[in-house]
Structure 1
Amino acid sequence: MGLSLFGGLAGILVLGMPIAIALLIATGISVFFFSETSLIVLVQRLFVSLDSFSLMALPFFMIAGGLLEKGGVSKRIVNFANSIVGGLPGGLAIVAFVAAAFFGAISGSSTATVIAIGAILVPTMLKEGYDIRFSVTTLAAAGILGTIIPPSIPMVTFGVSTGASIGDLFSGGIIPGILLTFLMSVYAYLYGKKNIKVEYKFSFAKILRTFKEAIWALLMPLIIIGGIYSGIFTATEAAAVACLYGLIVGIFVYKELKLNVVKDIMEGAVINSAMIMFIVGAAAAFGYVMTKARIPAELSQFIVSLTDNPYILLLLINVLLLIIGTFMETNAAILIVAPIFTPIILEYGIDPIHFGVMMIVNLSIGMITPPLGVNLFVAAKLKDGLKVNDLLNKHLGMYLLVCIVGLLLITYIEDLVLFIPNLLK
């Protein structure tokens, strides 16, 4: 059955089917021809998997990110980041990473980060003499911070699919997010030192002024993480609070959020969350059949027979995830792969929070990896006449390299992930 399940899935995906449809068709074919299980059970598994309080966090975080994005938050974050690091060589590129880290702590979405920050920074970078390919590639790379810095939609997906604490995943992503921000900023600094003349003057007064303007946006991640760990609310309730907070800030504080825009944000969140929910349900049915066929157990035995060294195991998993992330959307990949690997890593004594953050960082790299790197397609739209092929350049190669270096550090230095969750406990 395993061959029909995965072979069918691969064949259907090659035909261009959406991942959720491909999962359901492959599952249905395998059950119909190679199992005595009723197809009605698959329908039941699909709906039962969506009966989850934690899954409600997905649309709420999408709405909260949209409210703050359209409410004037992104430009204030960019101004604040620019006041801090804008005077460095390659300052505007570094601003892209710092601003993406801040905005990622609000939106939880990679593509939203690229659009919100890129729409402001790309024209400014071109005006200051930055190469167009470098500028747009930088924004595509900066976008991956949106799924690593908490709150993160893929972290919610991982927590739901494996039972790991979403709050611990959120706090575990803080240091890895800062690490990747720093590593990519180093390349931007070296590029700027060689190619860009800096005329910006550092001003402490400007930092205070822009911080005051951005303070309402910067408070939101503290409210979310602080509220979860203080026991005031769960991750799902935190997402609902974030929606209310974003609405108040956008309408009454920054006064840039209009009611007709709120309607569009709600519609977008409904559509995007429905897509993810469909994948969740389809992946649950797929996983049920995998479990019935003992595929995870057999795969676990096979991997255990290859090595008893957890470091080699993590290396093998990383290589596999880098390949998967190149061809599959992040949330879909988590839903399919995480339930398979979680029992295996527990057998090796690997912390599931550490593994979860490692997996999300790994799959996030796939967002800027051709041929299906979604951030590359989104970033290419930031400038008229630019094609995705224009982003396949040496700058993208360097960003991928430093991200993989960061991934290896996160993989083998467990405290980079677990220090803050352990501290908060």
Structure 2
Amino acid sequence: MNVQPNTPAAALRRLDVLVDWITQGLAAALVVIEIIILFAGIIWRYVLDKPLIWSNELAEILFLWLVSLGAVIALRRGEHMRMTVLVARLTPGRQRFLARIAGLIVAVFTLELIVPGIGYMYEQQAITTPTLHIPGSWEVAGQLVALMMLFYVALRQLFAGAAWRELLITLAIGVVIGLGLWAAEPLLYAIGNGDLVVFFVLIVGVCIFAGVPIAFAFGIATIGYIYFTSSIPLSIVISQMDQGMASIELLAVPMFVILGLLLEMTGIARALVDLLSALVGNRRGGLSYVLIGAIYLIAGISGSKAADQAAVAPVLLPEMKRRGTPPGELVAQLAAAAAMSETIPPSLVLIIVGAVTGVSTAALFTGGLLPAAVAALGLIILIFFRTRNERPSGATVAPREAARLFLVAIPALILPFLIRYAVLAGIATATEVATIGVVYAVLVGLVVYRCFDWRRVFPILVETAALSGAILLIIGAASAMAWALTQAGFAQTLTAAMTGLPGGKYGFMAVSILLFIVLGSVLEGLPAMVLFGPLLFPIAGQVGINVIQYAIVSILAMGIGLFSPPFGVGFYQTCLISKASSDEALGRIWPYMATLVVALIVVAAVPWISTGFL
């Protein structure tokens, strides 16, 4: 439909374009600036022996602006993590209704934070950074700008294509719920910690199953709990979100995201897959082995499982389909491989767990390799038995050709070892090391493989910001929610319940595995780890479990839940990447998930697998 100039609709269209360009342009520029700052810090410290003492400080401030703008981009694109399994089964009309409800929740959440956020920004004005003497308000300003843009985007989504009657019904539902909670305040006070069930089980659960982005489901429940059950100012929410997202270790998230996105574009992923295909591709189930090996190798470069899958799928899956592998089997193998690789450094989950729990990231990097190898071995054994009656397919590669492909793949094979060596040798921190990978990948793509599409650079930078913003907003919202739970005494209650389980540390480990599998499925994995990690990891230490082993077991369990149907978001993401129906994969994925569960039990039963090389 044509929009007439000089009308309100045309003005809104121009404003949409302006918001889009501001958020994407600034976010893309900030990603580049962060890479330059961190890489310069490595060069000046390690090569020139003249550390830039201000680099991390500036990088941290810009990082909060980056992820805040990224959260806006993700909301505009509908890329925030959410559960859509149930919503997708509804009629289009009901889906639009729930989308308007989600827009209303996001609008209320952002509006409730903007006013107290302004006061919080003024409070931070008097606090300056130690090196650059930049006021703390500069960090908060980025979040406030993003909150205003999020509020605008939420309103646009609320009003988009809706009739007045539909809007009035949506607003009426919001008013009724708000008045109902206000009227129920005496009852909420009377039931004590029962109000935790109302806000953090009932409200969060309804929001998540209705398709509300998980970060905003956490946020609205936390605001509601604080507003209706206490006299604490709402500025505490933005303060806790700020603290949750401000860790310099989390700057590794966008760095490893962009590194993962570069793997396919620069030809690194193809070089690795071609080499593995030459070695085992002509055997029974050969390309399935290649798939497991490729994900394992590429996961040692990229921190994002979605990026790993997106790098391997275009290179390998078409040939697997040509050789007769059913689409459902492809989904099952790709999903299981991604779940297996969750503990391979530099996994984003490892970095985030280290940041939110205080566990050594370097120790997590060391402890995660062998457990993933155990899971990969289990998958290889399963594939062997499932393909033992198949005929070998594919041509045998001559030794000379295999040697040539090995030489071609050497630059790609160097990258995971380069990343690991840079951390262990003290050349770069876990935050900085991805920039070495980014610079190396760009050089290899330009000089060695000559596979670098400059037209894709800006979309990759924007995608990096959007994915990072979606991840970090969840971390911020989960941090505020965890603070509220702790203030309510939930941590003490949870500690008493978990330490009192029969079987001691074995009972605690078994319950934790079940808990993280379920939460990994329902809460998209990462939010569950951010929310419950800080609560459960100290208990693990109290009952005598090494926290590194507990972290690895929890992450593997979370990954299994994330990629398991019917609720696991990772499963449906894999179907999308594989261009296959979820119905085709539903019956084929269970043997793979069962194999991963067996591997998980082995890792949980044998601590040395996680701690032997520490």
TM-score when normalising by structure 2: 0.66
Displacement of 1:91: 0.8
Q: Is the aligned partner of 1:290 residue 2:477? A: no
Q: Is the aligned partner of 1:388 residue 2:582? A: yes
8 Å CA contact retained: 1:251, 1:257: yes
Q: Deviations over 1:285-343 (max 9, x none)?
A: 11111111121111111122223521121011101111111212121111111111111
1:214 equivalent in structure 2: 409
Q: Deviations over 1:148-195 (max 9, x none)?
A: 221101111111110111111112111111111111111112222123
Please, which of 520, 537, 540 is the counterpart of residue 342 of structure 1?
537
Please, which of 570, 578, 597 is the counterpart of residue 404 of structure 1?
597
Alpha-carbon distance in 2 for matches of 1:366, 1:143: 12
Q: Percent identity?
A: 27
Displacement of 1:130: 2.2
Alpha-carbon distance in 2 for matches of 1:134, 1:307: 40
Alpha-carbon distance in 1 for matches of 2:495, 2:549: 19
- Superposition misfits of 4+ residues, deviation over 4 angstroms: none
Please, which of 148, 170, 174 is the counterpart of residue 343 of structure 2?
148
8 Å CA contact retained: 1:342, 1:352: yes
AA aligned to 1:59 is: P
Alpha-carbon distance in 2 for matches of 1:117, 1:263: 22
Q: Deviations over 1:237-262 (max 9, x none)?
A: 11222221222122222111122222
Unaligned runs of 5+ in 1: none
8 Å CA contact retained: 1:130, 1:196: no
Which structure 2 residues correspond to residues 141-290 of structure 1 after superposition, within 5 A? Answer: 141-198=336-393, 200-201=395-396, 203-290=398-485
8 Å CA contact retained: 2:521, 2:564: yes
8 Å CA contact retained: 1:150, 1:221: no
Q: Is the aligned partner of 1:6 residue 2:226? A: no
Query: Equivalent residue of 1:235, what SS?
Result: coil
1:332 equivalent in structure 2: 527
Alpha-carbon distance in 1 for matches of 2:242, 2:519: 26
Q: Which stretch has the larger CA shift, 365-374 or 154-163?
A: 365-374
Alpha-carbon distance in 1 for matches of 2:573, 2:284: 26
AA aligned to 1:102 is: L
8 Å CA contact retained: 1:110, 1:375: no
Q: Deviations over 1:95-135 (max 9, x none)?
A: 11011111111122222222221222221112222233223
Alpha-carbon distance in 2 for matches of 1:145, 1:206: 31
Which structure 2 residues correspond to residues 372-383 of structure 1 after superposition, within 5 A? Answer: 372-382=567-577
Displacement of 1:4: 3.1
8 Å CA contact retained: 2:241, 2:476: yes
Q: Deviations over 1:13-37 (max 9, x none)?
A: 2322111101111111111121232
Structure 1 vs Structure 2 CA RMSD: 1.7
Q: Is the aligned partner of 1:299 residue 2:519? A: no
Unaligned runs of 5+ in 2: 1-192
AA aligned to 1:147 is: E
Alpha-carbon distance in 1 for matches of 2:560, 2:208: 21
Which structure 2 residues correspond to residues 53-202 of structure 1 after superposition, within 5 A? Answer: 53-198=248-393, 200-201=395-396
8 Å CA contact retained: 1:187, 1:399: yes
Query: Equivalent residue of 1:194, what SS?
Result: coil
Query: Equivalent residue of 1:231, what SS?
Result: coil
8 Å CA contact retained: 1:141, 1:375: no
Q: Is the aligned partner of 1:353 residue 2:518? A: no
